[in-house]
Amino acid sequence: MRAMNLESIAAIVREARDIVVFSGAGLSADSGIPTFRDGATGLWNNVNPDEVASIEGFLRNPPRVWNWLLQLKALIDDRRPNAGHLAIARLEQICAGQRLTVITQNIDGYHARAGNAEVLEVHGTIHRLRCHRYCGFVANWDQGSSNPFACPACGSPVRPDLVLFGEMLDDEVFSAAETRSMNADIFFCVGTSFTVQPAARLPVWAKYAGAALVEINPHPTSLTEVADYSVRSGASEFFSALCARLEGK
Ligand code: OAD
Ligand code: ZN
């Protein structure tokens, strides 16, 4: 990216009170986790999401969804946060005294593992199970639960605590994400294709509420034309360069 743009973005960060980083699957690509819609490796180009990642699919055939997510979880457990996640965690340290919120569509838990304190997981997490009826039962998804099982408290199906197609987002988490987006002075969108609502409306709302909108994606998206800065690069390169610039290196 042009040095002039990097300096303009760094200048906005220095002055900002509220900073939001909104992430999607592209951020975890450098960890070796496939994205959903990129070319031959895109998860949704290889498996039907209605079968493996929808609520109808789960209620019709729990083991199918369970096994597919268990495979994805094994991959996520095997890999680790990449330079992009680590730079976003470093950005929080650099911006101590300001407020940095990560809003992520990713279910891999890598932002928290990288060290970010405030992470809103609007699509939930693959690391936790819960009772489908929200009776209060939750558990870590550990090695012991390789088959679907009934809730020990109420007998309803237990399922991963992530948002399946056909489901609503968690109200509390999504309202917090909306509030942070509306208050943002600068809003980074990294590694997302903006195809899944309602998460995709957060950057637009942030922009209407006055945030400077920065997109980081090697390819143009539907957000590109409304973004103030559209950075054609990978997440790791950009956030590493931004941190170095803010640290005066
Ligand atoms: P997508 O797979 O739709 O989009 C990934 C985006 O990341 C694309 O625009 C790529 O160009 C970009 N990308 C690829 N490599 C990158 C890199 N190294 N650095 C930066 N960007 C890169 O993934 P999402 O937008 O996250 O829903 O998908 C949104 C939702 O759709 C997901 O949360 C999931 C899925 O169905 C649920 O799990 C509910
Ligand atoms: Zn229950």
pLDDT of residue 146: 85
Give 249's pLDDT tier (boundaries 50, 70, 90).
confident
Q: Minimal CA–CA distance to 87: which of 178, 4, 191, 17?
A: 191
**Do 220 and 108 share a structural domain?**
yes
CA distance 157 to 122: 22
CA–CA distances in Å: residue 69 to residues 55, 73, 127, 246: 13, 6, 10, 39
pLDDT at 1 over 60: no
Domain that holds residue 202: 1-33+81-123+169-249
What is the H or E stretch that residue 159 is in? strand 158-162
What is the CATH number for 106? 3.40.50.1220
CA–CA distances in Å: residue 140 to residues 104, 128, 143: 20, 5, 9
3-state secondary structure of 164: coil
CA–CA distances in Å: residue 99 to residues 16, 45, 109, 236, 243: 9, 37, 20, 21, 16
The residues whose Cβ lies within 5 A of ligand 2, an ion, are 131, 135, 137, 151, 153-154, 156
**Do 19 and 136 share a structural domain?**
no
pLDDT at 142 over 90: no
Q: Based on DSSP, count helices (H) and strands (E) in the chain, helices before strands.
A: 9, 9
**Closest residue (by CA) to atom 36 of ligand 1?**
36
**Do 177 and 65 share a structural domain?**
no
**Do 206 and 115 share a structural domain?**
yes
**Do 218 and 100 share a structural domain?**
yes
Tens-place pLDDT, residues 58-73: 999 999 999 999 999 9
Closest ligand to the CA of 139: 2
- For the chain, the domain total comes to 2
Structure tokens at 102: 């990560």
Q: How many angstroms does the Cα of residue 135 sit away from the middle of ligand 1?
A: 32
DSSP-H helix ranges across the chain:
3-15, 49-52, 55-60, 62-78, 83-94, 110-114, 171-183, 202-208, 235-246
219 is catalytic: no
**Closest residue (by CA) to atom 35 of ligand 1?**
36
**What is the pTM for the complete model shown?**
0.97
**Do 158 and 148 share a structural domain?**
yes
Does 23 sit in the ligand 1 pocket, CB within 6 Å? no
